[in-house]
């Protein structure tokens, strides 16, 4: 099968953990054998999140007094593509994957008039107590919003329109390589008379993964994160996991826009368009999620 796997940034750095490299490498080392087994048996393209990581780089850039201005988010997304891609490449190799693995620095074209630029919604960085978050927002001209585990920065998240390097990914997959691409949803760029230009935004990696899976004619879209399934009534005494559901039934339910909402909507779009299966589940249970015995399985 050809499988597109979307790894959540929070799957590499769990809520409340210090954003140290060793912490994230330990998580990858623990799950890499399972991912390597999947990649050994199938054509695999991996799209990873970068919310905690790009938020950390943004804070470092803003705090660096040697800079005349902070680096734009588009540049920081490219940086995270390099470092997280390198971590995944190395982890898969150390776990015994015999196939070659390559990371593509990937650009994602967005519409300059996308309404997402007017309504920041994508969480980046770690959580803060409310008072500290509001102080950072005042000092750094951030928009902050409450999330699970604290208050976090939110930034514009326009929808992806085109993956610039997708043809290269197709060629690599055809030649038996495992491909890591569109990290963080891809470097957000607009296209104009002067060519491509980076913009101050973060593209949702789940929507990019769904687009990539559709364009690459994938047999399965897997979204692996830090929760075991999609839950209804999450955080209440009535919460329960969804194990098997159709895309049409899923469309009748509502999920938080800042967390599970994009995953559910991206999975639904993929299934509606391709009639292939999408799965959402825990990174720790990746093989079972692929087999259908864990996670949430979404079908046409």
**Catalytic site positions:** 9-10, 122, 205, 263
The residue whose two tokens read 């999330």 is 147
H-assigned helices in the chain: 9-12, 21-41, 51-63, 73-94, 130-140, 166-174, 205-215, 247-250, 260-274, 286-291
Q: How far apart are CA 287 and CA 50, in angstroms?
A: 23
Number of alpha carbons in the 13 Å side-chain half-sphere of residue 227: 17
- DSSP assignment, residue 284? G
Q: How far apart are CA 253 and CA 232, in angstroms?
A: 8
Longest dimension (CA), the chain: 55
Give per-residue burial for 244-273: e unless 16+ CB within 10 Å, then b: ebebeebeeeebeebbbebbbbbbbbbbbe
Q: How far apart are CA 283 and CA 160, in angstroms?
A: 24
In the chain, what is the straight-line distance between the N-terminal and C-terminal CA atoms, in Å?
18
The residue whose two tokens read 């630029």 is 117
Classify strands 277-282 and 296-299 as parallel, antiparallel or unpaired. Answer: antiparallel
């Amino acid at each position: 099968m050809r499988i597109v796997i979307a790894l959540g940034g929070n799957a590499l750095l769990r809520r409340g953990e210090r954003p140290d490299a060793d912490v994230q490498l330990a998580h990858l080392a623990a799950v890499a054998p399972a991912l390597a087994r999947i990649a050994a048996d199938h054509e695999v393209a991996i799209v990873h999140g970068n919310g905690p990581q790009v938020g950390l780089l943004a804070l470092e850039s803003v705090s660096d007094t040697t800079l005349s201005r902070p680096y734009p988010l588009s540049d920081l997304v490219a940086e995270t593509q390099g470092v997280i891609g390198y971590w995944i490449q190395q982890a898969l190799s150390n776990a015994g994957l015999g196939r070659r693995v390559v990371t593509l620095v990937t650009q994602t074209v967005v519409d300059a008039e996308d309404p997402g630029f007017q309504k920041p919604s994508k969480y980046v960085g770690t959580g803060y107590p409310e008072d500290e978050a509001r102080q950072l927002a005042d000092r750094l001209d951030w928009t902050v919003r409450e999330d699970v585990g604290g208050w976090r920065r939110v930034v514009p998240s326009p929808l992806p329109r085109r993956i610039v390097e997708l043809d290269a990914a197709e060629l690599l997959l055809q030649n038996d390589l495992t491909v890591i691409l569109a990290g963080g949803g891809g470097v957000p760029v607009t296209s104009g008379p002067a060519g491509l230009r980076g913009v101050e935004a973060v593209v949702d990696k789940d929507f990019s993964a769904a687009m990539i899976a559709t364009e690459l004619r994938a047999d399965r879209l897997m979204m692996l994160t830090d929760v075991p399934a999609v839950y209804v009534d999450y955080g209440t005494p009535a919460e329960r996991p969804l194990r098997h559901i159709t895309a049409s039934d899923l469309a009748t339910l509502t999920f938080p826009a800042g967390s599970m909402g994009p995953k559910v909507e991206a999975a639904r779009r993929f299934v509606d368009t391709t009639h292939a299966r999408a799965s959402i589940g825990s990174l720790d249970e990746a093989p079972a999620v692929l087999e259908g015995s864990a996670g949430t399985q979404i079908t046409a």
